[in-house]
Amino acid sequence: MESLLRRKATEKGCLVASHRGAWGGNVIQNTMQAFRNALLQGADVLETDVVPCLDGSLWCFHDGSEKKVFGEKTDIFAMTEEKLLSLAPVNAYEQPVRARVPRFEEALALAVREGTVLNIDRAWDWTDRVVKVLDSVRGAEEVCLMKAPVTKGQAAMEFLAVHPVKYPFMAICYTWEDVEAALRVKGLRLEAVEMIAFDEKSPLFGQDAVRRAHDRGLLAWVNAIRLGDGLRDRLYAGLDDDRSIAISPEEGWLRLRDMGFDIIQTDWPAAVKVALEKEKENGGQIKVRC
């Protein structure tokens, strides 16, 4: 059965994946409001982090973000479910809000209901727990996309490879050795690769690299988010959200599109969507410098 991600890419061309939903102002990252906001902004894929709290239940949250989200230093892994639900996230204006961290099941239900791909990040150390939830939800196989770095996700890949239900998987890759290692996992439903390139000399940078991934039957995902100002915070040679906003979409998002990427992950889904649609309407082509 063809995955929803692949069908969408075939139908629409370059897809937009919204990083932790679409958040800012009074909307908190990885919340149901953020996911709904991303859909309103035209996102084709919702990305979320899935981690367990002390009780073992799964939540949409990026560990390490506790102080930013809750305004206090704490640790989600050490929290009980009761404690987690008692905490009020803090918005961009440093004010507490009513929104709460959602259970993974809530985000999954939204994706199934809306027919939207749900990319599941940071779950490679508890893949068995995530899969147990997926197995219990009708339609989960259609919408989910598991994700892990090849270097840290070997156990997760092997678990998914032998599981009776073949959930779609994306490998985070830094080298061609990573790509080949993921392809060698027999039984793994490898649908896509997230291609990381810290500079233009990186092995996975450029149009030829994307074409090579396509030749292996893989969709190519690129991460346009900017994590900071360090070299390794620029996940695809600086062709990212910051460059697209500060200079022009032609210098960032559209250059990635013209390299052949099937999915662009961003913190600004509406802006990427507008740029892609405007270019499509104008019928313009951008010269790719790679």
Q: Give me the domain span that covers residue 261.
A: 4-50+105-282
Average pLDDT rounded to a whole number, residues 197-211: 97
pLDDT > 90? residue 2 = no
pLDDT mean over 9-26:
97
> Which residues, 6+ apart, have CB-to-CB distance to 281 below 8 Å?
none
CATH number at residue 174: 3.20.20.190
Inter-CA distances, 186 with 119, 131, 148, 250, Å: 22, 18, 16, 39
pLDDT at position 281 over 80 = no
Instruction: Report yes or no on 259 lying in a domain.
Output: yes
The answer to the question of residue 112 being in a domain is yes
For the whole model, what pTM was predicted?
Answer: 0.94
The SS3 call for residue 40 is helix
Q: Which residues contact 274 (CB under 8 A, 6 or more apart)?
A: none
In-domain check, residue 143: yes
- Output the CA angle 58-241-281, nearest 5 degrees: 110
What per-residue confidence (pLDDT) applies to 283?
Answer: 61
pLDDT tens by residue, 218-245: 999 999 999 999 888 999 999 999 999 9
* pLDDT value at residue 289: 39
**C-alpha 197: how far from its chain's center?**
16
> What is the number of domains present in the chain?
1
In a domain, 185, yes or no: yes
Q: Where are the alpha helices (DSSP H) in 115-195?
A: 127-135, 140-143, 154-162, 176-183
Answer yes or no: are the C-beta atoms of 80 and 55 closer than 8 Å: yes
- The per-residue pLDDT for range 174-191, each reduced to its tens digit, is 999 999 999 999 999 999
Is 75 inside any structural domain? no
Distance, in Å, from the CA atom of 103 to the CA atom of 60, rounded to the nearest integer, reads: 6
Residue-wise over 153-190: b if at least 16 C-beta within 10 A, else e?
beebbebbeebeeebbbbbbbbeeebbebbeebeebbb
In whole numbers, what is the pLDDT of the chain averaged over residues? 95
- Does 67 reside within a domain? no
Q: pLDDT tens digit string along 130-173?
A: 999 999 999 999 999 999 999 999 999 999 999 999 999 999 99
Assign 206 a pLDDT band (cuts: 50, 70, 90): very high
Is 63 domain-assigned? no
Q: What is the pLDDT of residue 231?
A: 85
Q: Is residue 161 part of a domain?
A: yes
Confidence band (pLDDT; 50, 70, 90) for 81? very high
Q: How far apart are CA 184 and CA 27, in angstroms?
A: 41
* Inter-residue contact 134 to 167 (CB < 8 Å): yes
CA 116 to chain centre: 13
Which amino acid is located at 170 in the chain? M
pLDDT of residue 288 exceeding 60: no
pLDDT at 286 over 50: no
